[in-house]
Structure 1
Amino acid sequence: MEVNRKEFYIGLLLAVSSSIFIGASFILKKKGLLRLASTGSTRAGHGGYAYLKEWLWWAGLVSMGVGEAANFAAYAFAPATLVTPLGALSVLVSAVLSSYFLNERLNIHGKIGCLLCIIGSTVMVIHAPREEEVSSLSAMAEKLKDPGFIVYAVSVVGSSLVLMFAVAPRYGQKNVLVYILICSVIGSLSVSCVKGLGIGIKELFSGIAVLKEPLFWVLIICLVICITIQISYLNKALDIFNTSLVTPIYYVFFTTSVMACSAILFKEWLRMTTDGALGTVSGFLTILIGIFLLHAFKDITFTLDSMPLFLKKSNQGAVPNHDLTTDESKLRRDMNSNGGGKPWLL
């Protein structure tokens, strides 16, 4: 029992560390992209790749790599129902750090939306059924040949190509969902590749000659392509939109895409209980509400400090500026401005 408890705390520490590194990686990448923008280099949002010469961007990439490695290791010590929901902490870490280091603000609607996204994702993960065990690369190959997964993969590739070449050039710099959708759906395929490669590596250490298997190398090539696309379009999103907006939406869509892909590939839905189905649906609806609050009201300046003024206006109608106190006049000016201001805290 003591050994199990020790392993549990190791897994917990790894999961929390993973969220910290991943959340910090968004800030480092954004700082690097902002530095490049100030020098006049072609921005990532306009197709530039000058960020490859920026050390802050590479620091962010290394931070994300360390976080993903810690997250992978956490599954070896702690149950998935603990590790996966803790990934939502990266959203909070990124949001808090962006308020200090990027001077980005998030109104009360955005904060509530961020919280709802995390709650909804956590509920979905908790109620999701366990995936079917796959112990060999040959068994994984049979899973990949399933007609349902083939249809899903073709749909993902087709929709991603449409988004990349038809939608992104016209709407990518106006709508945050375009680039994030590309990263998320492609990311679901990259996770499948990672699972297959993990099985192959375990067999390799067991003495099985998996290097002679074509599937092993196909998975590596597909993983490289998927990760390259994810990095490119995530940089475009970070370069154009606020980190406090990109991070939670990316987490929600990525998590949902991965769970959908895993359900199709491993057929977990065949073993879902009524409670699990209701929990998944309620979690998904919560996510939709959170995304709506994040996206629809992102340009409205509204904080808890301004609530008394809003209540006063709703009860008494419009109040002339000359009837307001000095503090209320300053608050009204702050509410009508779109600029910076003091950083927000969750």
Structure 2
Amino acid sequence: MEKMANSSSSHVFPSLTPALAHRTEVLENPLQTYLLGIIISICGNVLISISLNIQKYAHVRQAQRGSKPYYTSVMWWCGVVLMGVGELGNFAAYGFAPASLIAPLGCVSVIASAIISVVFLKETLCASDIVGGTLAITGTYVLVTFAPHTSTHITAHLVQYYAISWHFLLYLFIEIVIFCLLLYLYKRRNMKHIVIVMLLVALLASLTVISVKAVSGMITESIKGQLQLIYPIFYVMFVVMVASCAFQIKFLNQAMKMFDATEVVPINFVFFTASAIVAGIVFYQEFEGLALLNIGMFLFGCLLSFVGVFLIARNRPKIKQQDRNFIAMNKIPGRRHTDKVQPEAKTTTYGSLAAKLMCNRSGQTDDS
């Protein structure tokens, strides 16, 4: 009778149990689940690096041939598919391991990409690449060793309990204020500094990490037999995940247009990792009960990974696009100079065939 009373009370008052039952519920074998999340994340990041190099090779080959667009290449589409599989692996990894661990493992993608580009794309190997790779691998080993080794069941009741906690609401309020201030400086004051753009991406990334882990964890629990998709909090987190990812990609693409990839990649990795760690600490309380030595060594491992990624990305080939507001003089018939000119957008011949003919004629008269 006592068991029946307890079970019936848990069905009648399900909202009273999250803080006690779900928050302290630890997986029965956390080590296997923990290692599974690490392996899935590493494999996903390796696939992402392979896909990026395949797409890069497809772009180079299509540019040499100069016949068809890159999206008609089967190799390019293979790279896209591999990237999708890799991102899916990262998504699944959040359901098995803490977010503060999965995010720093993104340096595996940078290391693998550097190795693949040297071996297959015949890019030069510098001393800083070796030092950076060594530091990144060492940092990854250290942070994996000292990261939190326990993980709770991510259920709908637990996510709802975390979402209305005072520390997360305070964190969300501060993040919204900072985001609005940065957006004002970026849009209204026209401050196009790389730090401002990357901070906008990082603030969105923190919401992405929170929502991705919530959605992935609830899907994992549903697959295990405890259906979580019937709760509204699942769809709220799903909408937050999609929206934050979309705006994050938007600002990241703007940064790639304004700055070189060798600047964007390491700064984005550092800011994204830092925001993911803070999000895991504030929302999921992943560092609760962790010893100070573990926290210090975990942060030290992250620092080694940051330095290693900066050293690797510093010597990568420059792929920044040329400014489209200017026309290279050596691209105009009849001109042999390497200077650039800016066309007048208000003229009727701007960008037309007549403009090229006029430049050609003026070049012929100058030569004569």
Q: TM-score, normalised on structure 2?
A: 0.57
| Equivalent position to 1:170, from 191, 202, 205 | 191
Aligned to 1:45: none
Describe the shift of the 1:9–1:209 C-alpha distance in structure 2 as closer, same or farther (beyond 3 A). Answer: closer
Q: Percent identity?
A: 29
Cα separation, 2, equivalents of 1:207 and 1:280:
33
Give, in angstroms, the shift of residue 112 of structure 1: 3.9
Q: How does 1:195-234 map to 2 (within 5 A)?
A: 195-202=213-220, 204-205=222-223, 206=225, 208=227, 210-211=229-230, 213-234=231-252
Cα separation, 2, equivalents of 1:254 and 1:63:
22
| Equivalent position to 2:44, from 15, 18, 25 | 18
Describe the shift of the 1:7–1:123 C-alpha distance in structure 2 as closer, same or farther (beyond 3 A). Answer: closer
Aligned to 1:276: 294
Is 1:128 paired with 2:137?
no
Q: Counterpart amino acid of 1:256?
A: A
Whose helix proportion is higher, 1 or 2? 1
Aligned to 1:158: 177
Cα separation, 2, equivalents of 1:72 and 1:31:
26
Is 1:64 paired with 2:83?
yes
Cα separation, 2, equivalents of 1:98 and 1:271:
42
Give, in angstroms, the shift of residue 210 of structure 1: 3.5
Cα separation, 1, equivalents of 2:95 and 2:227:
22
Cα separation, 2, equivalents of 1:34 and 1:237:
23
Q: Which moved more, 1:84-93 or 1:136-145?
A: 84-93
Give, in angstroms, the shift of residue 196 of structure 1: 1.6
Is the Cα–Cα contact under 8 Å of residues 184 and 250 in structure 1 kept in the other structure? yes
Q: How does 1:315-334 map to 2 (within 5 A)?
A: none
Classify the secondary structure of the residue corresponding to 2:287: helix
Is the Cα–Cα contact under 8 Å of residues 94 and 243 in structure 1 kept in the other structure? no
Give, in angstroms, the shift of residue 123 of structure 1: 2.8
Instruction: Give the CA RMSD over aligned residues.
Output: 4.8
Aligned to 1:92: 111
Describe the shift of the 1:189–1:231 C-alpha distance in structure 2 as closer, same or farther (beyond 3 A). Answer: same
Give, in angstroms, the shift of residue 186 of structure 1: 1.6
Cα separation, 2, equivalents of 1:66 and 1:262:
24
Is the Cα–Cα contact under 8 Å of residues 121 and 284 in structure 1 kept in the other structure? yes
Classify the secondary structure of the residue corresponding to 1:88: helix
Give, in angstroms, the shift of residue 187 of structure 1: 1.7
| Count of residue pairs the alignment pairs up | 282
Give, in angstroms, the shift of residue 262 of structure 1: 0.6
Cα separation, 2, equivalents of 1:220 and 1:277:
31
Unaligned runs of 5+ in 2: 1-31, 62-69, 317-368
Cα separation, 1, equivalents of 2:202 and 2:71:
22
Aligned to 1:260: 278
Cα separation, 1, equivalents of 2:122 and 2:178:
35
Is the Cα–Cα contact under 8 Å of residues 11 and 76 in structure 1 kept in the other structure? yes
Cα separation, 1, equivalents of 2:127 and 2:57:
25
